[in-house]
Amino acid sequence: MCVRCARITTTPITVSEVHQASGPGFNVYACPDCAPHFPPLPDALDLLATGWRRREGDER
């Protein structure tokens, strides 16, 4: 399923790979129409996850 337009596509393109230390990672897919709209850097979600972990650390 496309992460941007939520359409089911028969030719999903991986636009991001999310790796989590606390669980299984997953891939983010987009349809060919939406894939060009994603930035070439695929680690946005990874950076988000890292930021969350850092915030939790600051609160303690």
Q: Which is nearer to Zn ion, 24 or 39 (CB)?
A: 39
Task: Report residue 15 CA to chain centroid gap.
Answer: 7
Shortest Å distance, C-beta 2 to Zn ion: 3
Q: Which of 38, 25, 24, 31 is nearest to 6 (CA)?
A: 31
Shortest Å distance, C-beta 29 to Zn ion: 9
Shortest Å distance, C-beta 23 to Zn ion: 26
CB 13 within 8 A of CB 35: yes
Contact residues: Zn ion, CB under 5 A: 2, 4-5, 31, 34
